[in-house]
Amino acid sequence: MIKLEVVVILFFRAHKVTTFFHIISINMLYFMLFNIKYLDIAILWK
């Protein structure tokens, strides 16, 4: 039988990695939206 502590540690480690990647992807998404908004403004001003 696998010890519960090992499962919990592995779960939290995996969860930490996924949260890290979620934060990165959300930041990239906001950055892209920000750039697109400014590109639209630049195109409209021309």
Question: pLDDT tens across 1-39, in order?
Answer: 678 888 888 888 888 888 888 889 889 988 888 888 877
Q: What residue type is assigned to position 11 of the chain?
A: F
| Structure confidence at residue 6 (pLDDT) | 87
| Structure confidence at residue 46 (pLDDT) | 66
Is 27 buried (19+), middle (13-18) or exposed (0-12) by CB count in 10 A? exposed
User: Is the per-residue pLDDT at 43 higher than 80?
Assistant: no
